[in-house]
Structure 1
Amino acid sequence: MDSSETRGNVGAGAGRSASLATETGDVKPDRYAWKALWASAVGYAMDGFDFLILAFALSAITASLGLTGAEAGSLATLTLIGAVFGGVVFGVLSDYFGRVKLLALTILIFAVFTGLTAISQEYWQIAVFRFIAGLGLGGEFGIGMTLAAEAWPAKFRARATSLVAVGWQTGVFLAAIVSAILIPLIGWRGLFLVGIAPALFAFYVRRGVHEPALFEENKNKTRRSFPLWLLFKDRATTKTSVGIAILTSVQNFGYYGLIIWLPTYLSSEFGYGLTQTGAWTAVTVVGMIVGIMVFGVLADRFGRRPLFWAFQTGAALSVLAYSQLDAPFALLIGGAIMGFFVNGMLGGYGAIMAELYPTEARSTAQNVLFNIGRAVGGFGPLVIGALAVVYGFSLVIAMLASIYVIAIIATATLIPERRGAALN
């Protein structure tokens, strides 16, 4: 049983602390909580699926449409740019009009425009479709995290948001399997038509899940203030928002930088073939999934900040150690351990941001601050690739370990602990 705690509310303003009741006793998630979690996790899985099928189909798209290397590479960039804009827009709209409505809308947008990608005949068409699909992709993350956090008891909140985060990795696995099967059979156009399937799930979300009671009770507050301003309304809140943005930037930079270049690193440094690099990378992703799940369980037991410190320290040490490995078995196990720490932190953002921001700005905070990190993280592959040309992959991966020191400092100096606090 968790003891009741009173913690300062970041959104309460400088010099004023809010006494928030915490949930105690053996409170269990009810049927609605599970439905909200299911909708959020599946939505995020479809988010990951629709984003990653572009990577698997890119070579076929390039050959079919006669794209240049720059044009082909820009498609992923345009999707990420759309995601950043979508995160801001749909986060604000979710705080105004409701989590369930906007979750369904974002799923519908990225599904429909993923499907429309199949009819593209020129570069500008596919570029527009990917950008608009990105709007939906960027909006979905924070809305789903907010819905799950508001629906689940405080005692299990980090576990709930971790289950939502696992959805992305599930979608990545599904994209890899489906792409390998379908591209040889129906081509890249057929694959993107399959990507429209999540649109059907959007109707289930809209009809099968109602808005959280917490949102209904507080929705009129949003009419009196613009949610985006509430992320920076006073010194304490601004400090926290900067801290969260640093955490998400470090995590995304490390994640994208490693997951994009890991197959190339294994191939160029150790001569691994396609099958072996795929297997070793898959084990690393499994480590990421386990890390997310463990983070959620332990963060509910010991607090958010201690777990962020532990995983940030683990990420720095495991990335540094991985850069020194050369034996196949060591690289296999080392990759799983590295993945465990590098991406395990993803499970904590939904819970910690839900507790740090009020209901009228919660979805905005989730989407804006995570997508700032996603935007910074998008430079990870570019920076690592450029430095690797000069210094080699082993040294650059070792250098990557240093970024987690920044996150450790930010967690210690900028972010308060509010484990178990009732949402306000």
Structure 2
Amino acid sequence: MTGIETAGSGDRISRMGWIVAITIIGAMVVEGIDLQFMAMALPSLIKEFHLSNIQAGFLATVTLAGQMAGGIFTGWIADRIGRAKVVAWGIAWFSVMTAALAFTETFEQFAIVRFLGGVGLSAVYSVGCVFVNEYIPTAKRNTVLGAVSAGSPVGYALAAVGASYLIPHYGWRPMFWISAVPAIATIFLLKHLKDPESWTAARTQKTLEDRPSNEWSMIFKDKFVLKMVLAWTVCSIAFQAGYYSANNWMPTYLQNGLGIKMSSVGWFVAGNFVMMIFGKVLAGYASDKFGRKPIWVISSVLTAAAFPILAYNVTAQNAGFMLLFIGLFYGCPNSVANTYISESFPTRVRGTAFALVYNLGRIGGMVAPVALGYIASRYTFSMGLGFLGFAYVVAAITALLFIKEKAFDPTSKSPDADEQIESSTAGHAMLTASGKKA
């Protein structure tokens, strides 16, 4: 028995592991389609609902508000009833709310429905990534999670091209009917999924030992876990501020700021996300080879430099090339985060902790696009875009100073590591005395 969760047996990915990974990749593609449809529809929504830039920024972030509100609790529920059920019900709810957007008639109606859809969408990412992490062995974990993370930009690219043809001919409403269809199809795949053995073992052990069942109290009683929660919350706020601001505003800036036609905007944005797919998969593979922390820090620093370069050099003539350039970098930290965060927490609180820090991070994703809209109105869009690089500097420094990598193995079926969560010094003991039982 050891004081730290040990690696799973072997490096072979099980059949169920592949099914779970492929299913969540599909769900992430659906998420990407929806979010990019929202970004591509924004110029039309501005005209139809007569929105200011600040209102448009708010509308672009209301999904994240719903994701934050739902995500904090879906992780906790997933620790209680299992990963598969929460993801399935989340996608079902999200599908209904997405289709309902097509029938909204006012800014207020759209915002409310979008918020409610975000509550269901929160389960796709927060719980889905934990689900995959608990099936994939350590040596291949971030390579697979990089592919999972790349599902979103696949959806972004498909949606960007599709919207560039749909909106001019049919308007924005039919897009949201379409985005509900693949989400419904994903639900049928989820019927065949099983919860990971690590989660089952942790729940069984907790029942046998009659342990306290409140995952929230476990988080705040353990100093190491609480430290990870605080550090990851800062990192999450920072990188989501940059990531979602760029995603939400880029199509509008290209069309309204640089005067590029909608048909060309779709292809430019699609190229940006194709390059992001490559960057995310590469970052995932590199983090398995060289470590989570080094790749997180390096990719964050490169992204911090890339945003100002883009902001002050992009023109209508070179926009396609510049979007390829920025696409290579700014999705990489997001790719590494899926595994890096999961490995920072023990099984019994992993869903709760992952969802908590990732969804608190949506504060950055909500505030930054509104702030960027304000800066664009008061000064220039280039100034706001360039300032996004600062967020990635914060993410790099916080991880470098405060976050250890591979603190826990999500595939472990041993509950021994979780025993120490009762002690205020447990986390430190787990990291420094792996051969001893606390």
Structure-2-length-normalised TM-score: 0.82
Name 2:227's counterpart in structure 1.
239
Report how far residue 203 of structure 1 moved.
3.5
State the secondary structure of the residue aligned to 1:29: coil
Query: Helix, strand or coil: the match of 1:401?
Result: helix
Does residue 163 (structure 1) correspond to residue 147 (structure 2)? The answer is yes
Looking at structure 2, the residues matched to 121 and 316 of structure 1 have their Cα atoms a distance apart, in angstroms, of: 39
Separation (CA, whole Å) in 1 of partners of 2:122 and 2:237 = 15
Q: In the alignment, is the contact (CA less than 8 A) between 1:49 and 1:171 conserved in 2?
A: yes
**Distance in 2 of aligned mates of 1:276 and 1:57:** 15
- Tell me which residue corresponds to 2:428: none
Task: From the superposition, tell whether residues 371 and 72 of structure 1 become closer, same or farther in structure 2 (CA, over 3 Å).
Answer: same
Quick one: which of 365, 371, 375 aligns to 1:383?
371
| Corresponding residue of 2:26 | 42
2:338 corresponds to 1:354: no
Q: 2:275 aligns with which of 274, 287, 300?
A: 287
- In the TM superposition, what are the counterparts of 1:262-277 in structure 2 within 5 Å? 262-263=250-251, 272-277=260-265
Q: Quote the offset at 1:256 in angstroms.
A: 2.2
The equivalences for 1:1-80 within 5 A come to: 18-23=3-8, 27-58=11-42, 69=52, 74-80=58-64
**Alignment equivalent of 2:396, drawn from 405, 408, 420:** 408
Following superposition of structure 1 onto structure 2, how do residues 246-265 of structure 1 map, counting pairs within 5 Å?
A: 246-263=234-251
How far 1:67 moved relative to its partner? 6.3
Q: Deviations over 1:42-93 (max 9, x none)?
A: 11221222333334345556777x6655776654443221111110121111
Distance across 2 between alignment mates of 1:266 and 1:124: 26
1:365 Cα deviation after fit: 2.1
For residues 241-282 of structure 1, the C-alpha deviation after alignment (integer angstroms, 9 at most, x for no partner) is: 122112222211111222334345556776655455444433
Give the residue type in structure 1 aligned to 2:36: L
State how many pairs are aligned: 407
Alignment of 1:132 onto 2:116: yes
SS of aligned partner of 1:349 = helix
Q: Distance in 2 between matches of 1:116 and 1:327?
A: 37
The aligned amino acid for 2:310 is: Y
- CA distance in structure 1 between the aligned counterparts of 2:383 and 2:112, rounded to whole angstroms: 38
Residue 301 of structure 1 corresponds to which residue in structure 2?
289
- 1:12 corresponding residue in structure 2: none
What CA distance in whole angstroms lies between the structure 2 residues aligned with 1:263 and 1:53?
Answer: 10
Per the alignment, residue 405 of structure 2 pairs with 417
1:219 corresponding residue in structure 2: 203
Kept in 2, the 8 Å contact 1:83–1:134? The answer is yes
| Alignment equivalent of 1:110, drawn from 81, 88, 94 | 94
What SS does the corresponding residue of 2:124 show, helix, strand or coil? helix
In the alignment, which of 56, 69, 72 is matched to residue 88 of structure 1?
A: 72
Shift in Å at residue 189 of structure 1?
4.1
Task: Give the letter aligned to residue 323 of structure 2.
Answer: G
Give the Å deviation of 1:414.
Answer: 1.2
Aligned counterparts of 2:318 and 2:102: Cα–Cα separation in 1 = 42
**Pair 1:171–1:349, CA change in 2 (3 A):** same
| 8 Å CA contact retained: 1:92, 1:363 | yes
C-alpha displacement of 1:214:
1.3
Please say which of residues 185-194 and 83-92 is displaced more in the overlay: 185-194
Partner SS, residue 379 of structure 1? helix
TM-superposed deviation, 1:188: 4.1
Point out the more displaced range, 204-213 or 150-159.
Answer: 204-213
Moved more, 249-258 or 121-130: 121-130
Aligned to 2:180: 196
SS in 1 for 2:3: coil
Larger deviation, residues 120-129 vs 172-181: 120-129
Q: Output the CA distance in 1 between the equivalents of 2:45 and 2:25.
A: 29
* Structure 1 residue 302: Cα displacement: 0.8
Structure 1 unaligned spans of 5+: 1-16
Alignment counterpart, residue 342 of structure 1, candidates 323, 330, 336 = 330
Question: Is 87-96 or 352-361 further displaced after alignment?
Answer: 352-361
Q: Are 1:144 and 2:132 counterparts?
A: no
Conserved 8 A contact 1:87-1:140 = no
Q: What is the CA–CA distance in structure 2 between the aligned matches of 1:371 and 1:209, rounded to whole Å?
A: 25
Question: Which residue of structure 2 aligns with residue 315 of structure 1?
Answer: 303
Work out whether residues 150 and 280 of structure 2, in 8 Å CA contact, stay in contact via their aligned partners in 1.
Answer: yes
Q: How much does 1:387 deviate?
A: 2.8
C-alpha contact 1:159 1:300 (8 A) present in aligned 2 = yes
Cα RMSD between the aligned structures? 3.1
Identity across aligned pairs (percent)?
Answer: 27
Higher deviation after alignment, 278-287 or 53-62: 53-62
Deviations along 1:186-229, one digit per CA (max 9) or x if unpaired, are 55444333333245335423422111111111124387332234
Cα 1:124/1:377, change in 2 over 3 Å: closer
- How many Å separate the matches in 1 of 2:169 and 2:261? 24
Could you tell me how far 1:399 is from its partner in structure 2?
A: 3.4
Which whole-Å CA distance do the structure 2 matches of 1:329 and 1:120 have between them? 37
1:363-398 Cα deviation digits (max 9, x unpaired)? 222222112222212222222232344553444444
Aligned-partner Cα distance in 2 for 1:339–1:381: 18
Using a 3 Å threshold, how does the CA distance of structure 1 residues 198 and 89 change in structure 2: closer, same or farther?
farther
SS in 1 for 2:121: helix
Amino acid at match of 2:304: A
1:153 pairs with 127, 137, 140, which one? 137
Which residue number in structure 1 is paired with residue 161 of structure 2? 177
Amino acid at match of 1:292: K
